[in-house]
Chains A and B, each alone.
Chain A
Amino acid sequence: MTIELILDGKRTALEILPGQNLLQALRGASRFSVKLGCETGDCGSCTVLLDGEPVNSCVVAAARAAGRSVTTLEGLLGDPLMQRLQRELVDKGAVQCGYCSPGMLISLYALLKQDEAPTDRDVREALSGNLCRCTGYVKPVEAALAVAATLGGAS
């Protein structure tokens, strides 16, 4: 079947299978920032935005995206907020092997778009779906709070 969606800001037609998950469909469309980790909704390495909300694309049917907007990291590379998050994650040492990074970036981006002054707890809640085997989470949280501090909201 063919679905039409707004993929990374562009109207796009995607050829998908009815039972396919969104993760596979996006990788099929060369969105390789969308990582395959657990494929059970637990690890968050496949996180993308569906109509602006973070979702685990491995437990979303590709067909569900018809008529909606899907945003991956590839679509946000020129976005100033995303660029600040990327810079800060690197500077704070919150990127080690990097496998979780695209998913974390999407989760943090979604949080900061909706709330410019998140608390430590809000950041941890936003990252509740992102497993990281390397950093121990402290540095990603620090990085997110550091970016938030530059957005005008104190935390």
Chain B
Amino acid sequence: MWDLKEYRYASSPEDAVALLRKGPGRGMFIAGGTDLLLFPPACDFVVDVSRAGIDRLAATPDGDLFLGAAATLHTLTTDPLVTGFAGGAVSHAAAHCGNRPVRSTATLGGNLCNALPSADMAPVLIALDATCYIADVDNQESIPLVDFFTGPRRTVLGDRLLVGVALPAEAGRRVCRSRKLTRSAEDISLVQVAVALGMEGGRLDQVRIALGAVAPVPLRAGLAETALTDLDYHSDCTAAVADAAEIAAGECDPISDHRASAEYRRDMVRVLTGRLIAECLDDLRRGGNGGAA
């Protein structure tokens, strides 16, 4: 059993940070606890953030979408605000994490803050230009999600709280698809790819290709994105798609382990990236969000 001395409940984001800093000893935030109870880290106390008022989902009048850090993955799969954004791409990714009862408690914030290179929610949110909101006792900071991760299990947070992530309205109009490759449905991801494409006058614009589980942190395949930008998507794009997929494979930095070799992972980045771009192009030609795949 997890050898904790104390379990504290935070009533607000500021309260959560204050309770964490109060000591004595080492404290951690706990949200759903699905990661922490599985691999209990050595610590003296935890601060429960599930009652800190950071579980809300909200849309601004301009159409930006805010996802509270303590929102559960199940909520993300079912809430109309999320299923209606970018063709439901975020809901699709959430629905493919864990199993139904795990998603009832597992949170978005826990998934991101745990910062496994294979955290399944990261690529799709990065492809949709997510911004993180981080709370200190007396101020809030916001940074792009892609800059949030600093290494395996490491983030910029320190002893601050992730309040949530915001997705810009413009990203909600992109076509977006994400996919993960696993050995069995419930195993952790070998490779994840998320592609989001915007358009401007018949040409591709705001191209995003985000990769997960193939580098110490989730990343964007910037060169592949550039290669696709301005492409006329009504033309025959076969060669351009194959090129972009090849470039993306060159941009990742996977490891070999007992699940798969680095070569295999890299090749699967190429395959999945190519497929997802082609599917997104089909969605665009059909004039909208194909969404969940």
Contacts and interface: CB of A to CB of B under 8 A. Distances in A.
B19 to A, nearest CB: 14
A21 B34 CA distance: 11
B239 interface: no
Interface stretch (A5-13, A40-48, A139-147): A40-48
Interface string B27-51: 0001011101110100001101010
Given A44-B99, A55-B104, A126-B100, A18 B34 contact: no
B123 to A, nearest CB: 22
Interface string B1-43: 1111111010000000000000000000010111011101000
A129 B186 CA distance: 10
A44 B101 contact: yes
Contacts of B50: 64
B292 interface: no
B102 A64 contact: no
B74 interface: yes
Given A18-B5, A58-B37, A60-B33, A125 B100 contact: yes
Interface in A102-145: 107, 125-129
A50 B104 contact: yes
Contacts of A58: 37
B96 to A, nearest CB: 11
B105 interface: yes
B245 to A, nearest CB: 31
Given A19-B1, A19-B4, A63-B7, A41 B104 contact: no
A59 interface: yes
Contacts of A41: 34, 37-38, 98-99, 101-102
B37 A59 contact: yes
Contacts of B98: 41, 129
Contacts of A24: 1
Interface residues of B, number: 29
A96 interface: no
Chain B: interface secondary structure? loop
Contacts of A36: none
A58 B9 CA distance: 20
Nearest to A47: B101
Given A59-B105, A64-B48, A128 B99 contact: yes
Interface in B67-104: 74, 98-102, 104
Given A20-B1, A40-B38, A41-B38, A64 B33 contact: yes
Given A1-B7, A41-B37, A60-B33, 12 more contacts: A18-B46, A19-B1, A47-B101, A50-B104, A56-B34, A58-B37, A61-B33, A64-B48, A64-B105, A107-B101, A128-B100, A129-B100
Closest 8 A/B residue pairs (Cβ)? A19-B2, A129-B99, A19-B4, A63-B7, A18-B7, A53-B104, A18-B4, A129-B101
7 contacts: A24-B1, A47-B101, A50-B104, A53-B74, A53-B104, A60-B32, A61-B46
Interface of B: 1-7, 9, 30, 32-34, 36-38, 40, 45-46, 48, 50, 74, 98-102, 104-105, 186
